[in-house]
Structure 1
Amino acid sequence: MSTASTARLPGAKRPYAWYYEPLRWALLGLSRLPMPVLYGLGEGIYFLLTYVVRYRWRVLQQNLSRSFPEMSPAEVKRTGKAFYRHFSQVIVEILKMATISPAELAPRMHFTNPELMAQPFAEQRLVLSLGSHMGNWEWLLNGAALEFPGRAAGVYKPLNNAFFEHFTRRLRTRLGADAVPMPATLRYLVAHKNYGCTLSLLTDQAAGPEDRPYWTTFLNQDTSFYSSADRLVTQFNCVVLYIGIRRVRRGYYEVTFTEMPDSRTVASAPHGTFPIAEAFARQLEKDMRASPEQYLWTHRRWKHQRSLGE
C-alpha cells in the first residue's frame, strides 16, 4: 500500500472529529522528516523524559531494582537512562511508520531464521507468534508483513479516542499487516485456522485474575503470565513461536524465532501446568537480562498479587 493511503480519500467520512485534522497533518508532516532529523527530535524527547518530566521514574526504578537485585543504585540509574533513550527512539520510529516505505523499512528488520515461520505457512498451518515489549514491537508487525506478504496479523487493544484509534490502526496496517481487535481474536483464529498465516500476541503484560493466569518466578519475582496460548494450541493445532527482537544499532533490529512446545506436549502436560507460558517466560527473561534497556520498564508489570490456591 502506498504512502498516500495515509491520507483521507476525497469525500470519505472522517471516523473522528474534524478538529483532529490539523493534528493528523502535523503528525504526517513530522513523519516525512528524514530519520536522522527524527532521531534528533528523539534526543529532545529523551531529555524531557529523563530530566524534566521524569516519566514514571519511580515505577521504572522499582521494576529494575526488584528484577536485578545485583544492580547497584548507580547501575539502576544508568540502565534507566539507557531505557529512556531507547524509548525515545522507539517513539519517533513509530511516528515514522506513517510514511516509511517498504524499501526503507525492510533492511532495518533482519529476520535471522524465517524458515521457522515459512514452513508452517507451506503446510497451511496457523502460527501463533508470542511477542513482548522488547525492541520496537510496532516495527516488528510491519517488518513481518514485508517478510511474509499477506500472512501477518497482530492483536491490539482498541483505543477509546476515535482519532488515535484510526491513526494507530493505519500505522499498523498500511504496509500490509492486519490489525485484529482483541475481542475479535477467537473469531479471527477460526476464520484462518486452515490458512498459512501468523497472528502475533504481545503476552508479556500482567495477566489479571480474570485471565486465568499462569504464575511463575520471573526475574526474581512472583509473576503472572497469560495462559491463552496453551489453550489455543490444542484447540487449533497451531505452531507457536516466540519472537525475539533486539536493536543491533540505532534504527536496525534483529528478529529471531524460537519454537515453543507443540500441541502434543501441551495436551500431555500435567493438569494445571502451562508449558508454553513457562517457556515464554524463560525466553523473555533471557532476552531481558541480555538487553535490559530495551524493555518497556515503565509498565506496571507486577501490579497483581498471587492469591491462595494459584
Structure 2
Amino acid sequence: MLTGLASLPLSVLYVVARGLYLLLAYVVRYRWRVITENLRNAFPEKSEAEVQRLAKAFYWHFAQVIVEILKLLTISMDELYERAKIRNPELAIKAMEQGRTVLAVGSHAGNWEWILSTGALYFHERAHGVYKPLSNKFFEYFMRRLRTRSGAHLVPMRDTLRDIIRHRNQARCLALLTDQAAGPEDQPYWTTFLHQDTGFYTGADRLAARFQCPVFYVGIRRVRRGYYDILLTEIHDGLTPLDGDAHFITEAFARQLERDIQAAPDQYLWSHRRWKHKRVTE
C-alpha cells in the first residue's frame, strides 16, 4: 500500500497532503498543545492570533514533509537532484579530497530526511548518517530502505564512536541531527535557545576535537513547494586546536539554527517535545 501511494506523482501526493493537513490541524489536532506551547515560548513577542496562524502553517509544512518522505521510496534520483540542491557542496568535497571525515550537523528543519539522500547524490558513497534505530521492526526496515535508497549509509547512534575509529582514514561526510532533546544522562550543553534554557547533545564537539574533523552546519529551507535549498556553513576547519569541553561547535550550531528558525518558523518541527528536560542544578 505504501509503495503504491509513493508511486503517485508528487503533484497528486500534495493533494493527499492537503487532506492530511486538515485531519491533523482540525480533526485530530495532533499535539496541538505541544506545538502552541513551543511556539509561545519561542516567540514571546507574537500575539495569540499569530501563534495560532503559525501553528496552522506548521501543520501544512509537516503534511508536505510526510508525503515527501514517503516519496523517497520511488522518486528517481534525477528528480531528487532537481528538487533538493546543495548550493555549496565544494566546501565538504574539498575536505574529503584531503582524506578527512567531515561532520555535517543538521536539525529537524525543512525536510530533514531529504538531506542525507541528497548528500548521497553529491558525495556518492561518502554520505553517512547517524540515526537512532526504531523499536518497531517494520518501520525500522521501512525507514532504512528510504534513507539508503540513494546510496547513503547509516550508522546507529550507539556505534558512532566505534564507527569513526574504524573508518578514521576514510574520506566521507558523517551527518548528525543535533537538535534533539538531550536528557540529564547525556550530559548536555545548556544554553539559551529561542528564549529558553535548552540542553543539546555534545557529540559533535567531542568527535571534532578528537579526530580533527571539519564541521559544517547544514541549513535547509523550502523555497517553493517540493523544492529545497541546502546550504553548508563552516563551523570549524578541523585544523585549529579545539577543546571538546568548551562546546564551541554546539554553541555555534545553536545560534545558526536559531537564526534559520526565526527566518522560516513554520518549517521547524514544533510537534517535538524539545524542551521536556530541565537543567539539573546542585
TM-score relative to the length of structure 1: 0.89
Counterpart residue number, 2:21 = 46
Please tell me the residue identity of whatever aligns with 1:290: A
Report the equivalent of 1:277.
250
For residues 241 and 131 of structure 2, the distance between their equivalents in structure 1, rounded to whole angstroms, comes to 26
Select which of 71, 85, 108 maps to 1:110: 85
Please state whether the residue corresponding to 1:171 is helix, strand or coil.
helix
Q: CA RMSD, aligned part only?
A: 1.2
SS for the counterpart of 1:149 is helix
Q: Is the 8 A contact 1:230 1:266 kept in 2?
A: no
Contact 2:214–2:239, Cα closer than 8 Å, also in 1 = no
Identify the residue that residue 266 of structure 2 maps to in structure 1: 293
Instruction: Say if 2:76 is the partner of 1:94.
Output: no
- Superposed displacement of residue 263, structure 1: 4.9
Change (3 A) 1:289 1:54: same
Structure 1 residue 72 displacement after superposition: 0.5
Amino acid at match of 1:298: S
Q: Distance in 2 between matches of 1:286 and 1:56?
A: 25
Aligned to 1:147: 122
- 1:260 is aligned, of 219, 235, 248, to 235
Checking the alignment, whether the CA contact within 8 Å between 1:150 and 1:176 is kept in structure 2 is: yes
Pairwise CA distance, 1:274: 0.9
Match runs of 1:157-196 below 5 Å: 157-196=132-171
Q: How many angstroms apart in 2 are the aligned matches of 1:222 and 1:153?
A: 31
**Which one has a bigger Cα radius of gyration?**
1
Aligned partner of 1:37 in structure 2 is 12
Does the 8 A contact of 2:7 with 2:71 survive in 1?
Answer: yes
Unaligned runs of 5+ in 1: 1-25
**Structure 1 residues 38 and 268: CA distance shift in structure 2, 3 A:** closer
Inter-partner Cα distance in structure 2 for 1:101 and 1:192? 30
Which residue pairs with 2:204 in the alignment? 229
Q: Which sits farther off after the overlay, 155-164 or 65-74? A: 155-164
Cα distance between partner residues in 2 of 1:169 and 1:87: 20
Is the partner of 1:204 in helix, strand or coil?
Answer: coil
List structure 1 segments (4+ residues) > 2 angstroms apart after TM superposition. Answer: 261-269
What pairs up with 1:122-137 in 2 under 5 angstroms?
A: 122-137=97-112
Specify the alignment match of 1:74 in structure 2. Answer: 49
Residues 216 and 232 of structure 2 are in contact (CA less than 8 Å); yes or no, is this contact kept in structure 1?
yes
Quote the sequence identity (%).
60
SS of 1:150's equivalent in the other structure is helix
Instruction: Measure how far apart 1:261 and its partner are.
Output: 3.0
Aligned counterparts of 1:191 and 1:208: Cα–Cα separation in 2: 28
Cα distance in structure 1, aligned partners of 2:241 and 2:115: 27
CA offsets per residue over residues 273-307 of structure 1, 9 Å max, x none? 31001000000000000000000000011111111
Looking at structure 1, the residues matched to 137 and 147 of structure 2 have their Cα atoms a distance apart, in angstroms, of: 16
Residues 206 and 225, structure 1, Cα contact 8 Å, conserved in 2: yes
Q: What CA distance in whole angstroms lies between the structure 2 residues aligned with 1:83 and 1:66?
A: 16
Q: 1:199-238 maps to which residues of 2 (within 5 A)?
A: 199-238=174-213
1:248 to 223, 242, 250: 223
2:173 corresponds in structure 1 to 198
How many angstroms does 1:71 deviate by?
0.6
> Structure 1 residue 212: deviation in Å?
1.3
**CA–CA separation in structure 2 for the residues paired with 1:42 and 1:53:** 15
Task: Point out the more displaced range, 196-205 or 253-262.
Answer: 253-262
TM-superposed CA distance for 1:148, in Å, is: 1.1
